[in-house]
A and B are shown apart, each in its own frame.
Chain A
Amino acid sequence: MSDILINMPFFAVAALICVSLYIMMTQRNLIKVVMGITLFQSAVNLFLVALGYRTGGVAPAYTSGPVHLMVLPVPQAMTLTSIVIGVSTTALMLSLIIHIYRHTGSTDAEKSRRVKG
């Protein structure tokens, strides 16, 4: 039981992913689908950061102060990359939604012929 409690951040990740998958699979409004994907991105980012945490660790940068135990730097770099990529894909998706809205007058997937599926 204590193991499971320690792994609470990973459970938060799992719960977030399930919520985001539910949103993506059930919502018909395209903006809500994009929100689901953004939530998925956040969940994966949280997962990566949680993977690199060491109990009692500090940010992995040497300062003029004394050296403490540091958390792992690579997941932080991966998260940085993943955040930037997430921003980019979200921007592109929203731009495409603007265009779909102009063509069909709606952001509903039902009204748009091909998007549903």
Chain B
Amino acid sequence: MDALTLHSPILAVTIPLLAAFITPLIGRAGPRTRDVFVITSLVLLEIVVVVLARDVYANGIRIYTLGALTATQTIPEAYMVPVRLILEVDGLGVLMALASSTVALAGAIYSVASIRPETGQDRFYTLLLLLTVGMMGIQLTGDLFNMFVFLEILSISGAALAAFRTRFVDAVEGGFKYIIVSSVSALLLLLAIGLFYGQYNALNIAAISDAMQYTALDKIALALLIAALLTKCGAVPSHWWVPDTYTPAPAGTSPIMYASSLTCLAALFRVVFSLYGLKMSLATVGWLIIIAGVLSMFIGVTMALRQTDIKRLMVYHVVSQEGYMLLGAGVGLAVLGDPQAVAAYGREALAGGLFHVINNAFFKGLLLLTAEALLFQLGTRDLNKMGGMGRNMKWTCAFFLIGALAISGVPPFNGFSSKLMIYEASYQFNPMLTIIALIVSVMTLASFTKVFQSAFTGPALPEYRQVREVPLSMKVGMGILATATVAISLFPSQVVNGVIYPATDALLNQAGYISAVMGGG
């Protein structure tokens, strides 16, 4: 194994980290140099993640023990538990890392032009890189305490970025809300980690899972973990912070912050499937997640229909789309104990949920960027004040159409493929769920039709007659995400078989996850 492949799990975290430490210094050499440096480092990150992904898809779970004599020596010689910190990269981690590094690259390129009017750009790029570090760290780690540390990196950089435009009061308030919510949920997570440590004297996910007895303490820890991570990803009982935080977030960071929410969702999947898995009462937890999903779907979309602020409308769809992912995963979890049901529809439901996560990372990110492009050129997010931008901003209009058709589940776009998988699987589980999901889908389409009509069609309003298309870097940023969306739409079966099912199987195969660290499997 060559050195790059061997060290790729840690390089995927340390490359953006190193770049973040250098950015304040290199910022003194001028904005142009700094932009090139930031984008180069994110391209390097993308390359490393692709190398890592190829290896994981070829050879299965990758283990990287930090500070040991060899990367695969998880347990010290003649001992029985892991002592050092271990990175464990499986299909799910790689899938999320691929999506989030692509989104981070697109967001950074988009920011080059969109952040130009602002001051404090060096700090902005440092925070953007650290947000990427937080996402990569959570996805690639195999250690619960390490997950907490990177969750805090993600939260603090996210809050600071949300409050970046300090001249607006809602930006500051959104950042404040986010940091309060994240620090409380991170503390709940830490409390759960303490409960595991007190019982099993371990911090590694696989080691805890191996020793898990599902005692009353583990049930308390499970409740704390689910509460913390559902809050962090903005599902319904605690969705109230999402619109306030994401709406004022500056241009290029909105899709990255959205990807960070999806990262927390992936961490939740990791906890319920790999950490607890077969050892817990599956039906109860599965139904809990399904109910959270259905509520998120429905409440998110009804709130979205009432909005006139274009970005706030799209952010409410964030909540609603997260409902689909939770629904898919919840159905998969509820039947996990029954191998026949898993083969019949459980695996497909979970795969649909994960596919929807990836699709959303791209098309939802694209939509958030188009909303920011309208704000950048028109100076307003109010739908009632827009009109006829389809002629002046052709590229933005086309990108918006791609994103809107995909999110509403119109065939042949990728949103349709993933929703179809969720519909089919949930129909076999409980037809009521499918009906609700279909209704929500129709409402989503209605809501985006409204946006399209008021923002893009009709004659251009007189005050916006001389509005031009957005600068090149913003078009490139949106173009990356649009290309990814279209590519997935064109080859859905290849994508599902190539990357989604490996991630699904990694989640379903709890014994494999444990034996990769503990050996003897």
Contact = CB atoms under 8 A, between A and B. Distances in A.
Interface in A80-102: 81-82, 85, 88-89, 92-93, 96-97, 99-100
A87 B183 CA distance: 11
Interface stretch (B3-11, B172-180, B294-302, B500-508): B172-180
B187 A41 contact: yes
Contacts of A78: 145, 193, 197
B156 A44 contact: no
Interface string B112-156: 000000000000000000000000000000000100010010011
A117 B239 CA distance: 10
A112 interface: yes
Contact of B156 (A30, A33, A88): A88
Nearest to B177: A115
B190 interface: yes
Contact of B190 (A33, A82, A92, A114): A82
A100 B190 contact: no
A99 B145 contact: no
B375 interface: no
Given A40-B187, A96-B172, A33 B149 contact: no
A38 to B, nearest CB: 10
B156 A114 contact: no
Interface residues of B, number: 33
Contacts of B179: 89, 92-93, 96
A51 interface: yes
Contacts of B152: 85, 88-89
DSSP class of B's interface residues: helix, strand, loop or mixed?
helix
Interface residues of A, number: 32
DSSP class of A's interface residues: helix, strand, loop or mixed?
helix
Interface string B185-216: 01100110110011000010000000000000
A79 B303 CA distance: 41
Contacts of A37: 180, 183-184, 187
Interface stretch (B46-54, B162-170, B326-334): B162-170
A115 B156 contact: no
Contacts of A114: 170, 173-174, 177, 244
Given A96-B172, A99-B163, A113-B170, 8 more contacts: A17-B191, A41-B187, A75-B197, A85-B149, A88-B152, A113-B169, A114-B244, A115-B176
Interface of B: 145, 149, 152, 155-156, 159-160, 163, 166, 169-170, 172-177, 179-180, 183-184, 186-187, 190-191, 193-194, 197-198, 203, 240-241, 244
Interface of A: 17, 24, 30, 33, 37, 40-41, 44, 47-48, 51, 74-75, 78, 81-82, 85, 88-89, 92-93, 96-97, 99-100, 103-104, 112-115, 117
